[in-house]
Amino acid sequence: MHIARSKVAVIAAAVSLGLVATACSSDRDSNGSDGGGSTERFIFGAAGDPGSLDPSLESDGETFRVSRQVLETLLDHESGGTELIGGLAETWDSNDEGTEWTFNLRDGVTFHDGEELTAQVVCDNFDRWYNWTGTYQSTALSYYWQAEFGGFAENESEDTPPPNYVGCEATEDLTAVINLEEPSSVFPGAFSLAAFSIHSPKSLERYAEDEASGEGDNISRPDYSQDPEAIAGTGPFQLSNWNKGNGEVTVTRFDDYWGETAGFEEIVFRTISDEGARRQALEAGEIHGYDLVAPSDVDALESAGFEVPVRGVFNIFYLAFTQERNEALQDIDVRRAVAHALDRQGLVDTQLPEGGVVATQFVPDTIAGYSDDVTLYEYDEDAARELLDEAGHADLTVDFCYPTEVTRPYMPAPADMFELMKADLEAVGVTVNPRPMKWTPDYLDTTRDGGCDLYLLGWTGDFNDAYNFLGTWFDGYSKEWGFRNDEIFEALAASSVEPDVEAREAMYEEINELVMDFLPGVPISSSPPSIVFADSVNPPTVSPLTQEKFSEGSFK
C-alpha cells in the first residue's frame, strides 16, 4: 500500500510539472471548438472519464452513463422508476426454482454494424464472460460478473468464487435460456445491469483478438475497449469518437433503432471533474446539463431558469467501522456510542439536498425489505459518553478517513460532513485523527483494504432488490468491514436462494434488524442526487438509479 501511494505521489508530481507545459494550449483548444460548435450537439458535463467503453469491464457510473445510451440489456427499468421492464427481451420467465431463465427476444433488432440480434448472440455474450481467462478474471475487470454469476469456466485463483452460471442455450431463433446452478435473489435484476449489455457478434470477434494485461492495481484495459469503432450495440446512439485529450465521448443517433428514435442527433459527454467548473460551464452555455449538482447550487440554478429535476431516493450513505483495525470497535458498546454521538438529523438538514432523510438501516425506505422495527440510535451525547465509559474506552482514538475533491450521488460534500461528524465525536471525548485522501485510487483502495477505523462511503442501488444493498456489504467476511458474524452471513445466504419473493422480503426485514443490532457501521442518510439541464432542452426522465435514457431528451 505504501509503495503504491508513493508511486502515485511521484506520478502526481510529474503530471503537475507536465501540466504547466500543456494547460494553456488545451484550454484554448476546447474553447475554440465551443465557439464553432453546431447547436445540434447536446453536451453533458460528466464528473469523471469513463474507465473504458466496454461496460462489462467496469463498475462505475461514469462508464455506464455512456454505455447505457449505446448498449442495451435483456431487461431494463421503467423510465424514471425501479420496476423491471423488458429490454432486448420482450418477455421473460423462470422456472419455479429460479434456476432457469427464459428470454423471448424482440424481433427486428439490429446492431449498429448491421448484424441481427438473435438468441445465439445473447448466449455468445454470456459465454464470453463465463469463459474469461487471465487478467479478465481480476475483480478489477469482472466485478459485476463475479458479484452476480460467481466465477468462470475455469477459475484461475482460489479467491474467485465458484460459478453460478451453467450455460446458455438458444432454444429458438429468438428464445434464449440461461441456466443457473442455484437460485439467487439477484435475478432477474442482474439481467438489467449495464455490465451485462449485449454486444454485436462482430464486436465479439474483434474483442477476442485483444488481451487485457497486468495485475493488482496496475491493469491495462484491452485495446478494443478504448476504440469507439470496435464496439457496436443496439442502443439509440452509436459510439463515434472518444477524445481522451479533451475528455469527450461523442455518440451519434442510430437511425435504425428498434424503439423510438432519439431526440438528439449527437451527444457529447464532456468530463469536468470540478463541481464549480461544471456549473460555470452550464451558465456560460458551454454545456447543456450536468450531473451531481451541489445542493447549495440547486436554488440558484433554478432561479436562473435551469431545470433541476428531482430524482427518487435510492441510495445509502454510511459511516463504516473496520473492526479488525481497531480493537475498541469490536466492542458493540463502542459502536453504539459512536452511533449515538452523531447528529445525523442535523447533518441531513444542513448538508443534504431537499428530500434527504436520515437512514435507519442499510437500505433506503423505498425498497421492499425495509424494516420498521430496527433498533434506532438517537442523537444522545450523554448516552454515548456513558456507553464509552462502561466499555472502558472513554479515551477512544480513531483514524477517520474521508475523501477529498469528490462528490458522489449520496454524498455531496464529504469534507464538510466529516467536519460535522468529527465535532460530534470530539464532543463525547473521542479523539479523531483526520485522514483525508484522494478519491481514486487512494481512498477506495485504502478503505477496501481495511486501512481506516472509520470511513465514509455509500451505494446507489443497481436494481430494486434489498440484496443489492445488503449482499454487497454483508454476505461474508471482507477486509473493509473486518468482522465475522455468521448469523448475518448465513441469513443473507438463505435469503439469496429463497425463490418466493414475499418470503424473501420478510427475510430481508429480519436481516436489517440483525444488522442494526450488530451495527457494523452507522447508516447516515438517503438523498436524491441532483441533475440539471438547460432551459433549451426537454430533459430525459430522471432515474432514481441514475440510469437516465438520453434518447428521451431533445432540444426545444
Partner 1 sequence: MSTESNEPREPDDAAGDTGASPEGTSPGSAVPEPVGTATAPTAGATTGGPEAAAPAGPERAESPLAKARMSKADKIDRLAQLTAQRTTASGDSLWVAAFRRLRSSKMAIIGAVIIAVFVILAIIGPWIAPYSPTAQTWRGEVFSNRGIFVGPRAENWLGLDNLGRDQLSRLLVGARQTLLVGVVATVIGFVVGALIGGVSGAALALGGRTGQRIDTVIMRFIDMMLALPSLLLAVSIAAVMGQSLTTVMIAVGVVQIPIFARLLRGSMLAQANADYVLAARSLGVRRRRIVLAHVLPNSLGPVIVQCTLVLATAIIEAAALSFLGLGNLDAAQPEWGVMLAQAQRFFDAAPMLAVWPALGIIITALGFTLLGEAMREALDPKLRS
Find the binder of partner 1 among 57, 413, 452, 516 (CB under 8 A). Answer: 413
Q: Which of 93, 215, 349, 390: binder of partner 1 (CB under 8 A)?
A: 349
- Helices 139-149 & 119-130, crossing angle to 10 degrees? 120
Rounded Cα–Cα distance for residues 377 and 345 (Å): 11
Sole binder of partner 1 in the list 346, 376, 479, 503 (CB under 8 A): 346
Smallest gap from residue 165 Cβ to partner 1 (A): 44
Q: Residue for cell digits 470540478? A: 274
Which one of residues 182, 373, 405, 517 is an interface residue with partner 1 (CB under 8 A)? 405
- Residue from 49, 58, 115, 297 touching partner 1 (CB under 8 A): that is 297
What is the nearest approach in angstroms of partner 1 to the Cβ of residue 530? 10
Choose which of 47, 174, 212, 352 interacts with partner 1 (CB under 8 A). 352
Q: Distance between CA atoms of 313 and 357, rounded to whole angstroms? A: 9
CA geometry: angle 494, 498, 502, nearest 5 deg:
120
CA 443 to chain centre: 16
Task: Provide, rounded to whole angstroms, the least separation between the CB of residue 418 and partner 1.
Answer: 8
How many residues touch partner 1 (CB under 8 A)? 37
Pairing mode, if any, of strands 357-358 and 248-253? Answer: unpaired
Q: How far apart are CA 468 and CA 484, in angstroms?
A: 20
Residue 193: what residue type? L
With respect to partner 1, which residue has the nearer C-beta, 12 or 501?
Answer: 12
Rounded Cα–Cα distance for residues 242 and 270 (Å)? 10
The correct pick among 423, 493, 494, 501 for binding partner 1 (CB under 8 A) is 423
C-alpha to C-alpha distance for 56 and 52, rounded to whole angstroms? 9
Q: Does 357 bind partner 1 (CB under 8 A)?
A: no
User: Shortest approach of partner 1 to residue 404 CB, angstroms?
Assistant: 6
Residue with the three cell numbers 467501522: 321
Give the Cα separation of 236 and 431 in Å (integer): 54
Q: How many residues does the chain have?
A: 556
Within residues 433-492, the interface with partner 1 by CB under 8 A covers 434-436
Q: Give me 460's grid cell.
A: 446507489
Q: Which of 13, 153, 208, 503 lies at the binding interface for partner 1 (CB under 8 A)?
A: 13
- Furthest CA-CA distance within the chain: 70
4 binds partner 1 (CB under 8 A): no
Contact (CB, 8 A) for 445 and 313: no
The values of phi and psi at residue 274, to 5°, are -85, 130
Q: Give the Cα-Cα-Cα angle 536, 538, 39 (nearest 5 degrees).
A: 45
Nearer to partner 1, 1 or 12 (CB): 12
Q: According to the binding rule CB under 8 A, does residue 16 interact with partner 1?
A: yes
Q: Binder to partner 1 among 420, 444, 497, 519 (CB under 8 A)?
A: 420
Number of H helices, E strands in the chain: 15, 20
Least separation in angstroms between residue 209's CB and partner 1 is: 39
- Pick the binder of partner 1 from 390, 416, 449, 500 (CB under 8 A): 416
Stretch that binds partner 1, among 1-9, 146-154, 160-168, 476-484 (CB under 8 A): 1-9
**Binding pattern to partner 1, positions 18-37, x when CB under 8 A?**
--x-----------------
Question: Which whole-number Å values give the CA distances from 318 to 341, 414, 527, in the listed order?
Answer: 15, 11, 12
Alpha carbon distance 434, 17 (integer Å): 28
User: Nearest distance from residue 9's CB to partner 1, in Å?
Assistant: 5
Contact string (CB under 8 A) for partner 1, positions 196-235, x = contact:
----------------------------------------
Among 166, 300, 391, 497, binds partner 1 (CB under 8 A): 300
Assign 419 to helix, strand or coil: helix
- Contact residues for partner 1 (CB under 8 A)? 5-6, 9-10, 12-13, 16-17, 20, 275-276, 294-297, 299-300, 346, 349-354, 404-405, 412-413, 415-416, 419-420, 422-423, 434-436
